[in-house]
Amino acid sequence: MKEEVVTVENLRKSYETYLRRGLFARERKIVEALKGVSFRIYRGEVFGLLGPNGAGKTTTVKILSTLLLPDSGVATVLGYDVVKEAVEVRRRIGVSLTVEKGFFWKLTGRENLMYFGMLYGLDGPELKQRVQRMLELVGLEELGSSDKLYEEYSLGMKARLSIARALLTDPELLILDEPTLGLDPPSARLLRELLIRVAHEEGKTVLITTHNMFEAEIVCDRLAIINKGTIVAMDTVDGLKRLVSEDITLEMLVVLPAKVSLKQLREEISEVVSGRVEVDPTEEGTRIRVVMKPSEKEQATQEMLRKLHSMGCSVRRIEVKEPTLEDVFIELTGGK
């Protein structure tokens, strides 16, 4: 049975905000950031919270990091209540809320980590070793930037240091709010690979919020799509895609030998696949489109290739068309 690391039950949170109406007058407004959010995260998985701006992602992350109190509902981390047992929760989490600040500008990366490590209870040789290991892990040592002042860091380096701090105390749960926002591709890739590694190889649990569909698809084992304070869907990436469309389309471009007609090709293909088959001549060759269930994809493709080969057809291109995570996101959040 999978071990629950994070349990969130019917979490609600409202903020009081004020709209300025002139120099002294202001209008009170209540914003409902979370309207009964529930989810669970299991050990060793990367769980993504995907949602548009103002959806409630950061509010959820702040509640789980013990930096915000919910109005109602329950949230626990490794069995500890984030409200009543905040100190116990803090001992078990590593947090990165923003990548562009959160460190002392006049300290080097190493000094910053030494300070925060001590603040979080590490000391002596253990602290030095952990700091060194984290600097190596996030690649700052390799870049020769560990002993540079933070004020000289690029955004990519700041993000790496932020992840290093989150990992410093060897926490069981990592909570990362948009960790790759604004990063250059190499830095973003390094961080993504790192997250996957710490989750799948070291058994850490990762909660990540993101806007980035590509990132969500690559990094997350499961995703919750949150919109206007409500979770509208939660599943694996493939599971979410199936919410939009049950089928995928396999498209092939082939060159037929003279002896094979289009009708014959359609009949032969229909024998090996159960989905709808369309065959159309194009300028480049003959296009075959088969609509099928995702579960049939592997076997059907192999059967089709075998059949085409036996008929003497040469295959120029194969493409699988399925709904993207972006399609799912737009469909579920009503975005345009």
Partner 1 sequence: MGLWTLLKSGLILDIYFFKNNRAQLVSMFAWPYILLVLMLGMGFLFGSAETFKSNVGVEADPVVFFVASTLIAMASMSVMWEVGGTVLFHRWTGTLPYMLIAPYRISVTLVMSYIPRYLLWSFMQLAEFVPVLIWREGLVGGLADALVMGLAIVIGMLPLLGFAAIFGSFLLTIKEETNVLSWLNPIVLILSGAFYPAYLFPLWARFLSMILPTTYTFELARISSLLGAPKLAEMTFLIAVLLGMSIFYNALSFTLMGKAEKKALKSGAV
User: Binding residues for partner 1, per CB under 8 A?
Assistant: 15-16, 59, 62, 65-69, 87-88, 90-91, 93, 95, 97-98, 101-108, 111, 114-116, 118-123, 149, 165
User: What whole-number distance in Å separates Cα of residue 59 and Cα of residue 70?
Assistant: 9
Choose between 111 and 268: whose C-beta lies nearer to partner 1: 111
User: What whole-number distance in Å separates Cα of residue 118 and Cα of residue 308?
Assistant: 66
Choose between 80 and 329: whose C-beta lies nearer to partner 1: 80
Choose between 149 and 218: whose C-beta lies nearer to partner 1: 149
Q: How far apart are the first and last CA of the chain?
A: 40
What is the nearest approach in angstroms of partner 1 to the Cβ of residue 245?
39
DSSP bridge partners of 81: 76
User: What whole-number distance in Å separates Cα of residue 167 and Cα of residue 89?
Assistant: 15
Nearest-5° angle of CA 268, CA 271, CA 272? 105
Choose between 93 and 328: whose C-beta lies nearer to partner 1: 93
The closest of 58, 59, 46, 53 to 333, measured between CA atoms, is: 53
Choose between 118 and 255: whose C-beta lies nearer to partner 1: 118
What is the nearest approach in angstroms of partner 1 to the Cβ of residue 9?
19
What is the nearest approach in angstroms of partner 1 to the Cβ of residue 127?
9
What is the nearest approach in angstroms of partner 1 to the Cβ of residue 274?
54
What is the nearest approach in angstroms of partner 1 to the Cβ of residue 315?
55
Q: What is the rounded radius of gyration, in angstroms, for the C-alpha atoms of the chain?
A: 25
Choose between 171 and 332: whose C-beta lies nearer to partner 1: 171
What is the nearest approach in angstroms of partner 1 to the Cβ of residue 112?
9
Going from the C-alpha of 39 to that of each of 5, 70, 166, 217, 295, the distances in angstroms are 11, 15, 23, 19, 27
